[in-house]
Amino acid sequence: MFEEFEKAKKIIDKSNSIYMVAHINPDGDAIGSTCALYFALKQIGKDAHVVCPSYSEVFEFLPGIKDAISVIDKDSYDLLICLDASDNGRLAISSEDYNKAKHVIMLDHHQRSHPYGDVQYINDELSSASEITYNFIKYLNIPFDENSASLLYTGMLTDTGSFNYSNTSSATHRAIAELLDVGINATYICKKLNDTIKEAKLKLIAKTIDNMEVYYDGKLRYSYVDYDTIKNLGIHDEDAEGMTNYLRMVEGTEVAVYVRGKSDGTLKVSMRSGGNVDISKIAISFGGGGHPRAAGYTMTQDIGVEKKKLIDVVGVMLSELSRD
Ligand code: AMP
Ligand code: MN
Ligand code: MN
């Protein structure tokens, strides 16, 4: 860890204009890690910015996100720091803006990442990019303030499913304890992220459950909500996320799949596993990626054909389980 952190520190020391970016369709960890590092680097006098062209309204209350920019209005800049993005094709930045960077630092926690940049720090044992950023900010010797601490808390909270998932370690809890000591309002963050939804979202949950299809004796639960339904509910693309968990929660479910239509005409497949099936393998075979228990990909072809292929592949993986 320290070797890569030291290399990254040296580049930061000689950089002034620094941009933080994460993956497209940012989650709490993507926003938490980029915005936290933004506050830390501003504290040491850097000309820091976050690039984040679109995000869900649920994250609007987070500090720093409203200052985020969509494009880089400069011919060149010193440094791009990429967080929570396992390959540079999924960064929320155009390749043109990516190429304007003199240096690129990658900080990521995904398994089977595709390394890129001058510094490549990947640690899949940590819960989140926010936990990496927490370590990195400490390494840089920059104190946490209420903003950076709230953001890092958010990233760890969301990527661990509120400390439910197995990626939560004692180190995660120690980091959280230190962030709480900064004086953040964790109750408010939890209320906003875990205990508040719009009525339209409640209706989307109802739709998702209504459309649920059950295969293989309840081991696979699948639901598709088309774009027109989402649009008619007044929900934007980024806010139509998060439905897979409701399917996964049902007793006996090994694999949950939620497919939603997007405004650009593609279909986003969001998968969750109970832990026995490594769904990142499935997502990769369909051109996507992710973790063993949370993975996804984009369907561009006919949903009828693609859905059958997916159900068959899950069926094969489930039959391999029962053979063990
Ligand atoms: P989601 O269901 O959107 O929360 O995605 C779960 C995880 O799957 C993400 O954290 C990503 O690592 C991965 N993922 C989702 N969509 C894609 C994609 N199109 N390509 C690569 N990885 C993806
Ligand atoms: Mn993420
Ligand atoms: Mn993450």
Residues by chain with Cβ below 5 Å of ion ligand 3: 29, 84, 128-129, 159
Residue 112: which pLDDT band, with cuts at 50, 70 and 90? confident
Ligand nearest to the CA of 109: 3
For ligand 1, mutation pick of 56, 58, 84, 90 (most atoms within 8 Å of CB): 90
Phi and psi at residue 125, in whole multiples of 5°? -90, -10
The span from the CA of 21 to the CA of 85, in Å, is: 9
For ligand 1, mutation pick of 270, 293, 299 (most atoms within 8 Å of CB): 270
**Residue 217 corresponds to which tokens in the numbers above?**
């004796």
Contact at 8 Å (CB) between 296 and 269?
yes
Q: What pLDDT score was predicted for residue 300? A: 84
295 CB near ligand 1 (under 6 Å): yes
Rounded to 5°, the CA angle 1-280-304 comes to: 155
Average pLDDT along the chain: 96
26 CB near ligand 1 (under 6 Å): no
Among residues 73, 93, 70, the alpha carbon closest in space to that of 81 is found at: 93
Q: What pLDDT score was predicted for residue 307? A: 96
pLDDT tens per residue across span 73-98? 999 999 999 999 999 999 999 999 99
Percent of the chain surpassing pLDDT 70: 99
**Residue 44 corresponds to which tokens in the numbers above?**
């040491």
Q: Which atom of ligand 1 is nearest to the CA of 295?
A: 8
Residue with tokens 């405004």: 263
Question: Which residue's C-alpha comes closest to atom 15 of ligand 1?
Answer: 296
pLDDT tens per residue across span 166-221? 999 999 999 999 999 999 999 999 999 999 999 999 999 999 999 999 999 999 99
Q: Which atom of ligand 1 is nearest to the CA of 271?
A: 2
Residue 206: burial class (beta carbons within 10 Å; 0-12, 13-18, 19+) = exposed
Distance from the alpha carbon of residue 230 to the mean position of ligand 1, in angstroms? 20
Taking the whole predicted model, whether its pTM rises above 0.85 is answered as yes
If DSSP codes are grouped into helix, strand and coil, which group holds residue 316?
helix
**Residue 115 corresponds to which tokens in the numbers above?**
């390394």
The span from the CA of 146 to the CA of 151, in Å, is: 9
Phi and psi at residue 105, in whole multiples of 5°? -115, 135
Count of alpha carbons within 13 angstroms of residue 263, beta-carbon side: 9
pLDDT tens per residue across span 41-72? 999 999 999 999 999 999 999 999 999 999 99
Our measurement of the distance from residue 72's CA atom to the centroid of its chain's CA atoms, rounded to an integer in Å, reads 22
Buried b (16+ CB within 10 A) or exposed e, 272-300: bbbeebbbbebbeebebbbbbbbbbbebe
DSSP character for 211? T
